[in-house]
Chains A and B, each alone.
Chain A
Amino acid sequence: MTDHDSAKIQHIHEELHSHLPSEPALRAKALESLLVEKGLVDPTAVDAWVELYSEEIGPKRGARVVAHAWSDPAFKARLLEDGTQAIAELGLEGYGGGHLKVIENSDQVHNVVVCTLCSCYPIAMLGIPPNWYKSAAYRSRTVREPRVVLAEFGVQLADEIEVRVWDSTSELRYLVLPQRPDGTDSWSEERLASIVTRNSMIGTDRDLSTDG
């Protein structure tokens, strides 16, 4: 039984701080051995999760969705209306995609996503978040000085462009739909997907390059 008592958890954290080895790899090894011995985890299931996120569940999925939205206006409309249902059409449903909201950039608007309270991220679309997304610097500053943060990523925005910052405080997950670059009208979806960067779907990248 869990007592949901904050003071007790705080005390346990203090004990763990004093007694656990400081090297994270050693802590992780001890916890895995214990959970396996107690029958609480099957190590091959851990392998399977690691493999899925290392090889399959990553930004390529989001890029596929963006390219499909650029190519098929009816799909784009469905994606903006109900992101969760739209990604299921492509078989891309999964953790961190249960309440997906897709927000569209335009000439007048730039969107950027953050989670100031923890690290909420559209994992089903982008995989495991980068360290900077989870860092104190990004979490504290993006809601306060988004243009300065974006400049650190190389994104310079004209004053006329409105910045919309989305702080992921609920189970809704936000994915930015970047603008399709000019001169790509004849491109296949596959080729379009190849130029969609992970950061453009978080909002820390804006003008996609067609040179690659």
Chain B
Amino acid sequence: MKKSFVSILAVGAAATLALTGCSAGGGSGSESDTIKVAYQKFGAFVQVDNHMKAVKEAFEAEHEGITVELVPIEAQENDYATKLALMNRSAATAPDIMYVDTFRVQPDSDAGYLAPLDEYTAEWSDWDNFYENAKSAGLGSDGKTYGIPMGTDTRALWYNKDLFAEAGLPVPFEPKTWQDVLDAAATIKAELPDVIPLNVYSGKAQGEAASMQGFEMLLYGTEDTLYDADSQKWVLGSQGFIDSLGFIEDVYQGGLGPTPEQALDKNVGNLVSSEWLPQGTLAMDLDGSWLSGTWIDGGTAPWPEWNDVMGQAAMPTQEGQAPGATSMSGGWTLAMGADSANKDAAWDLIALALNKENSQAYDIAASQIAVRSDVSEDPTYQEANPTFGFFSEIVEFTHFRPATSDYAQISSEITVAMEAVMTGQQTPEEAAAAYDEAVIGIVGEDATTSAE
């Protein structure tokens, strides 16, 4: 009996060795004349796909013998991040270039998935045209540059002027407090019962869209914050956190939003931009500056009248406290895989994709706020989209997400708290307490501070 057990172990060990040998061999075998580019493509979001197709053509014409392999990953934001991380775990599947959200640059560089780009940017004359704050969004925790920003964004309330006029609400809509927003939603509910008054992304299925477009747009308009950057501690037990969850509760349990079931559908983002807003079944939407990218010429749901129908209002602070409005900014970058077999060619592709001309084309197509001074000052860019002016103005109120490696996990906990509240399973106080406990579990008690 003992002998057979030992022999099984020996066999197991031998097999493990053999398998390890295989995987190590597989890693070094990737072709250096192919550059693999991984990015997200989901529903109405096709702008990176279009951009990369154009860049691929230009690059292959310029570099003979190098093939650009495009790997569009069709998944919602968080699923995209998961699939990309799984690809990155093995050198055999890792892409050479990838499309990475700024808040994932730090954890992904800590994980060893990304290659530092400093030696390339040092010799890249275009780099001086990038704004400093945009450059810092691509830094890893070691201070090196890992991501080259493609554009940035801000968030605000989009509202349907026709529906507002029909419900007897003033246009332009200029809410001063959260209550003004909820009151307008209640008026719409009373006057236009078939219309969804207000959409605020919420719940686990929406991932980062729920934490950033939803929760943080509320929290950063209260007296409290998520993370104290000076002491580098996460803020727990704050009234602002409970009040923000209270707003979510008012919207979903008060019947002012989509039904919780609609809101928990992974596809709701596509529904909002391609159906609900163009068809006039949603009156207000707390969403990103990029939204019009779906409706402009070349978008997935062209809507020529969009600028006549849709208005924008800055999201007010909770009680109207200074500075009166709030916003959140993020943005995406192009990064290089740490195991890329042909880093020089990969860099050439990134530099081509984000030169002045291509950055401008992408920022216009995807309705991004430019991060290059030569693009934002270009009249063609300024005139391309009538909302660029509004969304660039609210940059003055904007906030950035905590630049730490733990943010991604904590963001997930925020969506858990939102879902518990929007489905009525927990009160805002209970959900906030559960969140506090989860954050302590992630970063440890020492990295947190109490709001009092």
Asked whether A and B interact, the reply is: no
Which B residues have a C-beta under 8 Å from some C-beta of A? Answer: none
